[in-house]
Amino acid sequence: AQTVTQSQPEMSVQEAETVTLSCTYDTSESDYYLFWYKQPPSRQMILVIRQEAYKQQNATENRFSVNFQKAAKSFSLKISDSQLGDAAMYFCAYKTGNSKLTFGKGITLSVRP
Amino acid sequence: GAVVSQHPSWVICKSGTSVKIECRSLDFQATTMFWYRQFPKQSLMLMATSNEGSKATYEQGVEKDKFLINHASLTLSTLTVTSAHPEDSSFYICSARRPSARNEQFFGPGTRLTVL
């Protein structure tokens, strides 16, 4: 079965600094998708970034980028120039094709002003 | 991105009553919708997968007679919590899959259920 592991329950970052959230996963599939979702206090799930496993290039969305290491089954999220609005719970997730999303336990990120 | 709505956003009910939560895809047709349950500071737990026109597929440990799911149209799925008890109090989130090459999933804003 596929599993997604986020081993750090909490992290804190100074405003304007950079922070990296880690995620590892386990799968026997070769073609899959990886995601980072943000859940702010409103609890609305927001897609931050996605990565297709067949793509070697790391996905980037403005201040958010990933370090996708397929062989190591690692998918970390880097947030640059952290802002107060980045404070939220972040979930790493995995899916293949039409399968269901498998979520990690999540990490709570706080941003210090 | 696509929009998914949920109604109500919060509900308080008495123990023993039934509560219906609606999930709508507002600007696309969703053949598949998902229902999740989330406790504070925890991850989303998939309860069931709802396919339009067919019976929902429930995850192991989820009581299908307790959590009734109906996906009657391509834009609406409902979750009914029957004979609710305080332990059913939780945050319920739906998501809808938009058919496309990317098969993206879009999340509703969630419904907070409190059972007294």
Residue A7 has a pLDDT of 95
**A48 — contact with chain B (CB < 8 Å)?**
no
The reply to whether residue A43 touches residue B91, judged by beta carbons under 8 angstroms, is yes
Give Dmax over CA atoms of chain A in angstroms. 42
Residue carrying the six token digits 């098969």? B103
Residue A43: pLDDT band by 50, 70, 90 thresholds?
Answer: very high
Name the residue among B32, B46, B93 with its Cβ closest to that of A45: B93
Q: B105 contacts in A (CB within 8 Å)?
A: 101
**A16 — contact with chain B (CB < 8 Å)?**
no
Percentage above 70 pLDDT, chain B:
98
**B6 — contact with chain A (CB < 8 Å)?**
no
Which residue, among B13, B68, B97, has the nearest Cα to A95 in the 3D structure?
B97
pLDDT, mean over chain B: 93
* B81: amino acid identity, one letter: V
Residue pair A26/A73 in contact by the 8 Å Cβ criterion: yes
How far apart are the CA of B53 and the nearest CA of chain A, in angstroms? Answer: 18
The pLDDT of residue A98 is above 70: yes
- What is the token pair recorded at A29? 């599939």
The pLDDT of residue B50 is above 80: yes
The reply to whether residue B49 touches residue A106, judged by beta carbons under 8 angstroms, is no
How far CA A4 is from CA of B2, B28, B63, B98, in Å, comes to 26, 29, 25, 24
Each as own residue / partner, the long-range contacts of residues A96-101 (CB below 8 Å, 24 or more positions apart, any chain) are A96/A2, A96/A27, A96/A29, A96/A31, A96/A32, A96/A33, A97/A31, A97/B103, A98/B32, A98/B97, A98/B103, A100/B34, A100/B46, A100/B49, A101/A35, A101/B34, A101/B46, A101/B105
